[in-house]
Structure 1
Amino acid sequence: MDEQEENRTKMERATHDNDGDDDRCQRDSIPFDLALDILSRLPPKSIARSLCVSKLWSSFTTLPSFTKLFATRRSALPPSLLVTFSKNLKRFVFSFPQHQNPDGSYPPAYIYQMTNEDSWFWNHSESVHGLVLIKGIKGSVIWNPTMRRFTTLPSPTTNTNIDKGSYVMSYLGYDPLEDKHKVLCVSKQDSEQPRVLTLGAQESWRVISKGNFPLHSPIGDHHGQCINGILYYDAYLRIGDGGERRIMSFDVRSEKFTSIKLPDFYSRLQIHMIPYKGRVAIVKVASLSSINLWILKDGDRHIWKHKIFVLPLSEIDDPLRGNNLSFSGVSDAGELIFTRWSLSKSFYILYFDLRSNSIREALFEGIVGDDFRCRYGLDKFSIYSIDVFPNHIESLMSL
C-alpha cells in the first residue's frame, strides 16, 4: 500500500464516529481527494497551521500529489518579494507583492517572526523555486519561508575537509522539468570531487565522477544563480599547470559541467550574475550613474554583449532617495532591484526597467512604522542586516 492510499484509509477511519451509526458517518465523511483539493486552496499560512492539528493532517501536506496540486494552483499567481531583518535576537519576515501597484504603496501579504535564527542569514542564496540555501554555523541549511521550516543538511563525508564550511561552497539548483531541487557541494580544493544531494528524495550525497567535471574551485561566497535548470557560479578553472577564472555552469538535471570564459572586462571583484531574458548576465553597479551589463549570447563560443545603463533618478519625487541604495537582484519582469541597506522611518525599493529605461518606486507599508515598533518592542534606531529575496514563490516542499 503506497503512502497516498494509506493516508486515504486513515482519513476514512478518522471521519467515522465510534457510535456505530455507519449511515450517518458515511454521509458526513469527506472523500480523500476532495479533502486534498480543499486544503490546496487554502493560503499557505493556514496550511502551516494545519501541521499542528494532528500527525494525519501533517502527513497530508507532504504527499507528492498534494504538493504538486498546491504548486499548480499557486503557479498562476505572480511571485512575491520577501524582506527580512534581525533585531533583538528575532528575525522578522515580510511578504510583499512584487507586481506594479498604480499608487506605489504595498501592504504586506503576511508577516511573521522567528527567534534565534539571525546567525543563519549571514550568507544565503536567492529564493530558488520557494527554497533558500543558508550557510549556517553547523553546515548548510534549507529554509522554506512558506512552511517556516529550517532543515540542516547532512555533511558529505569525504577524505578531505570538504565537510568543513570554510573549505566548501554549496549551491541550490532547481530542475523545472523533473520538479527537483538539488544541492551541489564543491570543494575549494580543486582536486576534490563535487557532491550532489537531491532534496526530498531520502538519499545520501552522491559523488560526481572525475570524468564528468573539469577541475575547478569556487571563488567568493556568492551562492550562484539558477536559470532555467542551469546553475551558474564563479570559479577558478585548472588548466594545465595554471588556471583561469571562469563561470561554471551545472545542468541540474543531467549533472554535467561546462565552463564559460568571462567577458574581456575581467575583474578581481566578485561577479554578480542575474537572469536576463532567459540568459545569464553579469551586472556591475559601480554607482547608480553607471550600470554595466554583460549578457551571454553564446556559451559555447563564449560570446558576450555589453550594455551600459544610467538610472533615471530624476523620475522619482526625491532624487536623494537614490542614496544609500544597494543592488538586490532582478525581478521576474527583468527590473533591477535597489533597496535601502538600513531601515529608519520608511522602507522603499526602486525598480529599474532595463527595457524602457524607466524607474518606479515602491513604498512598503507596515514594516518600520510606530505601530510595528511598539507591537514588537523595537527601539527607534535604524535597523540593519536587511535581506531581500525577489521572485519568491510559495512552496510546500518538505525535506
Structure 2
Amino acid sequence: MEREGNSDPIPIDIILDILSRLSTNSIAKFGLASKFCGSILRGQDFTELFLITRPLSRPRLLFAVQNSDKWCLYSSPQSQFPDENHSLVVSADFHMELRRDMGQEIFGLVSGLLYFPNTRTGEVPVICNPSTGQYARLTQRSSMNNLSSLLGYDPIGKKYKVITPSSSHFDPENILTLGTGKVAWRSIRCLVDHYPESEGICINGVLYYMASNKFQFSGVKIASFNVRYETLKFLNADVDVTFCPALAKLINYKGKLCVLSCLWDNQIYPKPLRWKVLMLWLWVLEDAEKEEWLKREYTLPVNIVHGNVSVVGVTATGEIILSMDYTSESFFVYYFNPERNTLEKVEIQGFEGSEKNLSSRVYTFVDYAEDVKFI
C-alpha cells in the first residue's frame, strides 16, 4: 500500500542529534537561516546535548584586539601544566571581526559571552558570542542617563541579566533579563545608590564588583549581587586595595572571589642592579557566609616579565596568568605558579602588531570554551 501525502516528519530528537554534531560556525548559520532551526538551537535541550556530544575540550585563552576601526577576536590553547624549564610558542586561531562601534571597552567574558557596556550617550550595550559569531545590541533604556552596566549569569535558571547599579528613586530602570522573548528594562529596589568602579566577575551566580558613593559611604566597597534572586549586599572586606580600585582587579580564584593588586617595585635589589620585580597581593574570600578573607603575597621571579602586563585570571590548578596589554612584535602570556614559585613565558603568534606601526589594546580572558548559546 502506497503512502499518500507527505512523508512523516523527522523526529525532533534525531534533528537535535544531527545539529549537535556540526561545527559551531555551521550551527550559527543554520540558526540564522531558518526560524525552525533557530527555535531548536535556542532551546536548553540542544545546549545540553551539544555539551554531552562534544569531547571535553581544554580551556583556551580568548584575545580581543582593539584596532582603530575594528575588533578582532582570537583564541589559543591555555597551558595546563606550565614548565619553567623552557618557553613555549603557540599560535592563535582567528574567530571573527567586529566593527569598532560595537564598543570602546569590554567588561568581561561571562559564561561564553562578551559584554560591551557602551556608556556614551546614544549608545546601547552589546553582547557577543565568539563561538557562533552572533552579536546583539540591547534595547535602549528610556532614561537619558548612560550609566555603567554589568552582565551576570544565573546557572540555575540559565538566564543572563544586565544590571545598571543606580538609585531606584532617580533611575528606575536598572535590570534587563535576556532570553525571555520580551526584552524590556524593569526596576528592582536598590537601597544604596552606588556606582561601579570596576568590571564585574560572576562566580556561581553571584556578580561581584567594586562600587563607590562619596555621599553614602567612604572609600570603595565590594558589591555582591545574586543574579537569580536579584538581591544586593556589600561585603565587609578588610581589603586595603579597595581604597584604590585603579590598582585592583576582581578574579575567580578556584571558584572563590579574589581581590588582586599588583605593583612594580625597584627598591628590593641594590642600586647596581635596580631590577624591577612585580609584587602581587591577593585577598581570597575563603568563606562567603562568614565573610572571612585570606591574604597572600607573592613576588614574581626577577628579570622575566617586561612591559605593560596585567593579571587576567587564574587557572583551575592555581596558576596566575598575566598577559601583555598591547600588541607588539612579540606578544607574551605568563603563567606564575605560586606554590612552586615558577614562571612560564609563552609567546602568542598570530595577531602581533595587527596594525603596522601601531600598538593595539589587547583584552585577554581565561578559561574560554566553545558555547552555542544563541542571543
Report TM bin, short chain. 0.7 to 0.9
Aligned residue identity for 2:162: V
Residue identity matched to 2:368: H
User: Which stretch shows the higher mean deviation, 66-75 or 337-346?
Assistant: 66-75
Deviation at 1:260, TM superposition (A): 0.7
Match of 1:35 among 10, 15, 18: 15
Distance 1:206 1:393 in 2: 31
Alignment partner, residue 270 of structure 2: none
In structure 1, what is the Cα distance between the partners aligned to 2:217 and 2:63?
Answer: 42
Deviation at 1:215, TM superposition (A): 0.8
Contact 1:142 1:150 in 2 (8 A): yes
- Alpha-carbon deviation of 1:63? 3.1
Query: Residues 44-78 of structure 1: CA distance to partner in whole angstroms, max 9, x if unpaired?
Result: 12322334654444444223322232244458323
Residue-by-residue CA offset, 1:243-286 (whole Å, 9 max, x unaligned) = 56321101111111111123252523334111123221110011
Alignment of 1:1-399 (within 5 A): 31-51=11-31, 53-73=33-53, 76-87=56-67, 89-100=69-80, 104-108=88-92, 110-115=93-98, 117-136=99-118, 137=120, 138-157=123-142, 161=143, 163-165=144-146, 168-187=147-166, 192-193=171-172, 195-203=174-182, 204-209=184-189, 213-220=190-197, 222-236=198-212, 243=218, 245-265=220-240, 266-270=242-246, 271-287=248-264, 288-313=277-302, 319-368=303-352, 378-379=355-356, 381-399=357-375
After TM superposition, which residue ranges in structure 1, 4 or more long, deviate above 6 angstroms? none
**Partner SS, residue 334 of structure 1:** coil
CA 43–192 in structure 1, closer or farther in 2 if over 3 Å, else same:
same
The Cα of 1:389 is off from its aligned counterpart by 1.9
More moved, 338-347 vs 183-192? 183-192
Aligned residues of 1:172 and 1:223 also touching (Cα < 8 A): no
How far apart are 1:207 and its partner, in Å? 1.4
Alpha carbons of 1:192 and 1:356: their partners in 2 closer, same or farther (altered >3 Å)?
Answer: farther
In structure 1, C-alpha distance between the alignment counterparts of 2:101 and 2:129, rounded to whole Å: 17
d(CA) in 1 for partners of 2:299 and 2:168? 40
* TM-fit CA distance, 1:236: 2.8
* Distance change >3 Å, CA 339–CA 247, structure 1 → 2: same
Deviation at 1:34, TM superposition (A): 1.7
Instruction: Tell me if the contact between 1:169 and 1:223 (Cα under 8 Å) persists in the aligned partners.
Output: no
- Other-structure match for 2:268: none
Q: Alpha-carbon deviation of 1:188?
A: 6.9
| More off after superposition, 385-394 vs 248-257 | 385-394
Aligned residues: 352
CA contact (8 A) 1:90 1:113 kept: no
State the distance in 2 between where 1:66 and 1:196 align: 27
**Residues 11-46 of structure 1: CA distance to partner in whole angstroms, max 9, x if unpaired?**
xxxxxxxxxx969x859x854322321221222123
Instruction: Mark the runs of 5 or more structure 2 residues left unpaired by the alignment.
Output: 265-276
- Aligned partners of 1:339 and 1:192: how far apart in 2? 37
Classify 1:278/1:260 alpha carbon distance in 2 versus 1 (closer, same or farther; 3 Å).
same
Unaligned runs of 5+ in 1: 1-20, 314-318
What's the CA shift for 1:309? 0.5
Cα distance, 1:231 vs structure 2: 0.6
Aligned partner of residue 108 in structure 2, secondary structure: coil
Contact 2:278 2:299 in 1 (8 A): yes
8 Å contact 2:163–2:176 — kept in the other structure?
yes
The 2-side partners of 1:82 and 1:398 are apart by 19
Q: Could you say if the C-alpha distance between residues 337 and 119 of structure 1 is closer, same or farther in structure 2, counting changes exceeding 3 Å?
A: farther
One-letter identity of the residue aligned with 2:50 = F
| CA–CA separation in structure 1 for the residues paired with 2:100 and 2:294 | 39
Percent pairwise identity: 28
Deviations 1:293-331 (A, max 9, x none): 111234455432211111124xxxxx4553332322333
Scaled by the length of structure 1, the TM-score of the pair is 0.77
State the alpha-carbon separation in 2 of the partners of residues 281 and 88 from structure 1: 33
Structure with greater helix share of residues? 1
Distance in 2, matches of 1:190 and 1:353, equals: 47
Between 1:138-147 and 1:193-202, the stretch displaced more is 193-202
When residues 192 and 50 of structure 1 are mapped into structure 2, their CA distance, relative to the original with a 3 A threshold, is closer
| Kept after mapping to 2: 8 A contact 1:217/1:236 | yes
Q: Could you list the per-position Cα deviations for residues 340-378 of structure 1 after superposition, in whole angstroms to 9, with x for gaps in the alignment? A: 222232322101123433222222233338xxx7xxxx5
2: distance between equivalents of 1:252 and 1:218?
18
Deviations along 1:221-243, whole A, 9 cap, x unmatched? x221111111111123689x655
